[in-house]
Amino acid sequence: MDELLELDMLPPFHAEDWIACGKTFLAKELPLSVLLAKQELLDILTKHLTHFPSPNVNISDFTKISFPPYFKTEIILTKPKGWFSYDMPQTDLECLTSRPIPPNEFLVKLEEALGQAWFDGARSIVDPRYNDGIDRLPFWILGFWKKMVAIIEKQDLWKRSCCWVEVELQKSKDEELAKKLRDTRSVICDMEWDSQLKYQRGAVTKSHLCSFLSSAWLNDEHIDMMMEHIAQRVNTASQHATKVIVAPLSFAREIENLARQKITSFTHQKTPLLCRYEARIKEGVKKIYFPLNIQQQHWIAGFVDFEARTIGY
């Protein structure tokens, strides 16, 4: 509640104090009210949100949806600065549903240039690839493009995952494995493509599951989801609930960071995370299990056994 009150108490943003005043856009040196005003430029108008599929659409239907063309390797020769205009936006945006979206690498550069262009007085975005650049698009089209790219990339991941299941099923000579693959195929057809998962306080969605159906590298979110799932199972087993901890990646990384900094004194102020684990251990925890990454190539499980006074993996 305090944080909300602080935001409400922010001084209002007055465009006449910042726009076309010869000021330099340096995010680290600007008031929060200015940064929030800049972020609002990218907010997509509600009526155009209908172009995005609901995260609750099932994967089978989601993979069949047609989106604007997107070529991530497209080369754009125009500099980002040339994509801004002092004219007011006036183009019918429905035409954008059939135009190719600029590659994400260029969209990042365009967003980086937006702040200064806005300060200089620009009021719209130009796409010089079409109509000799006469179209004038609102700033929020950048947010539209970025959101659309993220969805297209997730669609591609789900298509790859579905294909991976089919290929593995055709290769499988083990009937038990084949049955599990058929069950998986059935589940993902009806599963929602991007609805919220219960893990990490809802910060991850079902699109994160794509990597489990592939040979792709598992990232931090995948490992923490697995650790949270195992921890929940441990906590429901009465014989382990108070004696075993399954820790997320933050546990080992905190130790690594402290070792790198050669910090040997631990306090609630300097090392709050480890102090919380210390309190649990003093309550009777016998073992801690945690994930470890080996040279960015392999995941293993580490453990500390306090009764046996051993550390291993």
pLDDT tens digit sequence for 26-57: 999 999 999 999 999 999 888 889 899 999 99
- How far, in Å, CA of 40 to CA of 32, rounded? 12
Q: Answer for the pair 311, 304: CB distance below 8 angstroms, yes or no.
A: yes
Quote the tokens at residue 105. 């690498």
Quick one: pLDDT band at residue 5, thresholds 50, 70, 90? very low
Of 120 and 47, more confident: 120
- How far, in Å, CA of 36 to CA of 211, rounded? 34
pLDDT (average), residues 11-20: 93
pLDDT above 90: residue 266: no
CA 90, 93, 98, 103 torsion-angle sign: positive
Q: Of 64-78, 176-190, 257-271, 283-297, which gets the smallest average pLDDT? A: 257-271
User: Which residues neighbour 8 within 8 Å (Cβ) at sequence distance 6 or greater?
Assistant: none
**In terms of DSSP H, where are the helices of the chain?**
2-8, 32-40, 59-62, 104-120, 141-171, 175-190, 220-236, 249-260, 272-282
pLDDT (average), residues 197-215: 93
User: Which residues neighbour 307 within 8 Å (Cβ) at sequence distance 6 or greater?
Assistant: 286, 287
- How far, in Å, CA of 44 to CA of 42, rounded? 6
Q: Answer for the pair 113, 80: CB distance below 8 angstroms, yes or no.
A: yes
Q: Residue 247 burial (CB < 10 Å; 0-12/13-18/19+)?
A: buried
Quick one: pLDDT band at residue 296, thresholds 50, 70, 90? confident
Tell me phi and psi for residue 275, to 5 degrees: -65, -35
Query: What does pTM read for this prediction?
Result: 0.84
pLDDT (average), residues 117-122: 97
Q: What is the mean pLDDT of the chain?
A: 91
- How far, in Å, CA of 195 to CA of 213, rounded? 18
Quick one: pLDDT band at residue 7, thresholds 50, 70, 90? low
- How far, in Å, CA of 195 to CA of 58, rounded? 10
In tens, the pLDDT along 124-156 reads 999 999 888 999 999 999 999 999 999 999 999
Question: What is the pLDDT at residue 87?
Answer: 96
Quick one: pLDDT band at residue 6, thresholds 50, 70, 90? low
User: Which residues neighbour 99 within 8 Å (Cβ) at sequence distance 6 or greater?
Assistant: 68, 69, 127, 130
Question: What is the pLDDT at residue 159?
Answer: 97
